[in-house]
Structure 1
Amino acid sequence: MPEIPFTKGHGTGNDFVIVPDPDGVLDLSAAQVAALCDRHFGIGADGLLRVVRSAAGGFGSDAEWFMDYRNADGSIAEMCGNGVRVFARYLADTGLASLDSPLAVGTRAGTKTVTRSDDGFRVDLGTWRTDAADPLVRARGLDVARPGMNIDLGNPHIVVALASDAELDGLDLSVIPHIDPQPEGGANVEFVVPEDPLITAGVGRIRMRVFERGVGETLSCGTGTVAAALAVRSWAGGAPHEWRVEVPGGVLGVSMFEMGGQERVALSGPATLVYSGTVTLA
């Protein structure tokens, strides 16, 4: 059984096993990923980031480095906003890439650009989409099903507005929320409450909890905070383009800006590398 190096990292408590594979020689099965992410029998994490050169991995990205992201259950995911920041921090700290200038990172949702920011690292997530659907979400702790807003940031989200902090704190997200109609491939579900007042010094402020598909409740979800800010801005009608989103693991910044005639969104926040070691693959 081979032994491989790894690093443990997190972004506001959303944690990852980082596995360097520059030459694309590792072929991790879903079972191996799930074993590495197991919090009782493995290293423990919400997901795994394989660090591979795009050309070596056959991903066809124009970026030198590709973030091969897997959920904790081993399933493949398109994107992870916290994961991209942690991935960039790993590249910079290990000397594989430099953040002296904007760093391109390949993902299954396209190439994302990472720069340093006052609160850590900022990633341009690109454009976003929504539709007119109003899926109903049932969750343990809510008395009735609530309508949600679909937000696509390269990975799917459904944002649900709650009435109070008490409702948010009373959710039991150890049980998978039920979505009607169930989206093909599933979706991350964000439950959000606005602060009072919603806007302070020109910045919108909200609280959020999230259930991530293939993982469960996590302390943070980067793209989820962006989806939540976009949804609340839409519901509020004319709210600002700068947001602070409080999640159980900390605070993340979200900004909306115009480029090339399209609105783009960016996520900023810390990225921490905790420890490194080696592990034997079963």
Structure 2
Amino acid sequence: MYRTELAQLAGLPFAKGHATGNDFVLLADPEAKHEVTPEQVAALCHRRFGIGGDGLIRAVPTSQVPGFEQQALEQPKAYWFMDYRNNDGSIAEMCGNGVRAFVHFLLAEGLVNIPIGASLLIGSRAGVKEVTRLADGYAANLGPWGLIFEEQAAADSVDSMVKPRGWEQALPALSITMGNPHTVAALPDAQMLENLDLFSAPEVSPAPPNGSNVEFVVPSEPLITDGVAQLKMRVHERGVGETLSCGTGACAAAAAMRYWARGTALINQWAVEVPGGLVGVEFAPTDDGKEDTILSGPAALVARGVIGAN
């Protein structure tokens, strides 16, 4: 099966990249000629029969993506669209690590020119995102976060229950949207986090309508060092499994911890340790009374090639 799906893409150049270990197959499609099927995505992302990756990202003009023509008209500077698919071929709205890897890929391909300190607008299924090039990586403004079950969360500070594989008792959790869905549960210590079995998806009840990524977090002790709050996180990504990092998940984890601690001083700077490294999360107030969520961290390309015919 995988050989047939890959043969249909024979001759297509690709790159392999990652952002704190969250890895992706990257395709440049400036003429929108290579719409990939879910089966082809799953074949390319398979770690034994394909190239391997947590997902696939296709670079295509926003104006050429069905259903997003209006986004292109309203935000013409967002020329490039991040067509992101999960490892299993399912469509995902946004990936915070992926958008950093995507912009790094565009830069390496010569499709954009972004000096250090300059920004680029990117189209996505979660809206237009602004990515700034840093000296040592990229900062992606993912926009405002929100509560998926707002009424329940406001009443109880939790709105869901999460049950990891092998556990008899579920944990209280908070479901947060970063343009894509997340459910965050806190654990009391790092050893418990280390011992979690995330081979299969944790049970979430009630589950967000389109499923959920699930983050387990442990705050550092002390929580704040030099003005930055710190926490550790592991994640099971919807349609993928456990990944070494999840950018929107790191933002959701910080947002949940911040929400639970809202009776104390508001913390705007966070450092989130994931198995693949360290990412930064910043909450920045906006003129309309909301706040943007800014994710920062590195991105790298590790390989290039051409998909083979057999």
Common fold: TM-score over 0.5: yes
Distance apart, 1:245 and its partner CA: 0.1
Tell me which residue corresponds to 1:267.
295
Tell me which residue corresponds to 2:5.
none
| Letter paired with 1:107 | S
Tell me how far apart the structure 1 counterparts of residues 48 and 261 of structure 2 sit (CA, whole Å): 43
> Aligned pair 1:65/2:80, yes or no?
yes
Change (3 A) 1:281 1:16: farther
What stretches of structure 1 of length at least 5 have no aligned partner?
A: none
Query: Which of 170, 174, 177 in structure 1 is aligned with 2:202?
Result: 177
Tell me how far apart the structure 2 counterparts of residues 247 and 83 of structure 1 sit (CA, whole Å): 15
Query: Which of 122, 132, 140 in structure 2 is aligned with 1:105?
Result: 122
Tell me how far apart the structure 1 counterparts of residues 29 and 234 of structure 2 sit (CA, whole Å): 33
Give secondary structure in 2 for the equivalent of 1:280. Answer: coil
Partners of 2:175 and 2:208 within 8 A in 1? no
Distance apart, 1:119 and its partner CA: 3.9
Tell me how far apart the structure 1 counterparts of residues 226 and 182 of structure 2 sit (CA, whole Å): 28
| Letter paired with 1:69 | Y
Distance apart, 1:139 and its partner CA: 0.3
Tell me which residue corresponds to 2:15.
7
Give the paired residue count: 282
Distance apart, 1:176 and its partner CA: 1.3
Partners of 1:119 and 1:268 within 8 A in 2? no
Tell me which residue corresponds to 2:101.
86
Q: Percent identity?
A: 52
> Which portions of structure 1, spanning 4 or more consecutive aligned residues, are displaced by more than 6 angstroms?
none
Change (3 A) 1:174 1:27: same
Distance apart, 1:141 and its partner CA: 4.9
Query: Which of 236, 240, 248 in structure 1 is aligned with 2:267?
Result: 240
Superposition CA RMSD, Å: 1.4
TM-score normalised per structure 2: 0.88
Tell me how far apart the structure 1 counterparts of residues 101 and 54 of structure 2 sit (CA, whole Å): 13
Which has the larger Rg? 2
Tell me which residue corresponds to 2:304.
276
Partners of 1:141 and 1:170 within 8 A in 2? no
Give secondary structure in 1 for the equivalent of 2:103. Answer: helix
Tell me which residue corresponds to 1:256.
283
> Aligned pair 1:117/2:145, yes or no?
no
Tell me which residue corresponds to 1:194.
219
Partners of 1:168 and 1:193 within 8 A in 2? yes
Tell me which residue corresponds to 2:52.
44
Distance apart, 1:144 and its partner CA: 1.5
Which deviates more, 215-224 or 231-240? 231-240
Give secondary structure in 2 for the equivalent of 1:166. Answer: helix
Tell me which residue corresponds to 1:217.
242
Give secondary structure in 1 for the equivalent of 2:92. Answer: coil
Distance apart, 1:117 and its partner CA: 2.3
Query: 1 or 2, which has the higher strand percentage?
Result: 1
1:97-133 deviations in Å (ceiling 9; x for gaps): 1222310110000000111224410000011111234
Tell me which residue corresponds to 1:155.
180
1:158-191 deviations in Å (ceiling 9; x for gaps): 0001111111011000021011123221000000
Partners of 1:141 and 1:167 within 8 A in 2? no
Tell me how far apart the structure 2 counterparts of residues 143 and 70 of structure 1 sit (CA, whole Å): 33
Distance apart, 1:54 and its partner CA: 1.1
Change (3 A) 1:275 1:38: same
Which deviates more, 109-118 or 221-230? 109-118
Tell me how far apart the structure 2 counterparts of residues 208 and 214 of structure 1 sit (CA, whole Å): 19
Give secondary structure in 2 for the equivalent of 1:3. Answer: coil
Tell me how far apart the structure 2 counterparts of residues 244 and 236 of structure 1 sit (CA, whole Å): 16
Give secondary structure in 2 for the equivalent of 1:75. Answer: coil
Tell me how far apart the structure 1 counterparts of residues 281 and 309 of structure 2 sit (CA, whole Å): 38
